[in-house]
């Protein structure tokens, strides 16, 4: 997930936060990638209302160029599950292009498209999907990348008609 200074890369908007969690067989691992970024521009009022990251808060954070290699290493060869992938990918690819790097070519699953196909005409934002699947999103008072990633992982499991993974512990006797 990404949070940004505004909606459009065409208007020069940039990424202010990246959050990724790793799933292995639909189970979150302990591996994650998270950073706040100095976007080198001001945050729009509307974006501030969404995520609450002020220009002052972001001013001492690393720039995308300083985290790009670690980010690319984290997602290398992995399928990306993104809610509204077009938005996040446009911002990520814009940042990569600014650095003269190749755009992302990972396999991408857009949960917005999955939800739109599964529930035509229904509200399919992340909060609505959490409500539909009875996923507790009470910690989500604002959009933040890692909270959204954790909620999306649960939504995704439900969207693809999988049950919450359960761990089977065999009774091992020596």
| 91 has catalytic annotation | no
Beta-strand pair 15-24/2-4: antiparallel
Element (H, E) at 35: strand 27-36
Q: Which of 13, 51, 91, 143 is catalytic?
A: 143
Cβ partners under 8 Å of residue 114, min gap 6: 156, 159, 160
Tokens of 37: 């970024």
Q: Could you tell me what percentage of the chain is helix, strand and coil, using 3-state DSSP and rounding each to the nearest 5?
A: 40, 20, 40
Task: Cite the active site residues.
Answer: 143
């Amino acid at each position: 997930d990404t949070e940004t200074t505004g909606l459009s890369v065409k208007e020069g908007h940039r990424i202010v936060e990246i959050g990724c969690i790793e799933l292995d067989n639909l189970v979150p691992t302990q591996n994650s990638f998270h950073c706040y970024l100095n976007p080198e521009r001001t945050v729009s009022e509307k974006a501030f209302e969404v995520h609450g990251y002020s220009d002052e808060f972001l001013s001492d954070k690393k720039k995308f160029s300083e985290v790009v290699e670690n980010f690319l290493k984290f997602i290398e060869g992995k399928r990306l599950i993104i809610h509204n992938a077009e938005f996040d990918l446009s911002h990520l690819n814009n940042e990569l292009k600014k650095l003269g790097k190749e755009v992302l070519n990972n396999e991408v699953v857009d949960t917005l498209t999955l939800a739109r196909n599964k529930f035509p005409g229904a509200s399919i934002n992340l909060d609505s999907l959490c409500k539909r699947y009875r996923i507790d999103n009470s910690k989500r008072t604002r959009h933040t990348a890692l909270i959204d990633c954790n909620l999306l992982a649960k939504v995704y499991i439900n969207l693809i008609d999988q049950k919450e993974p359960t761990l089977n512990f065999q009774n091992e006797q020596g």
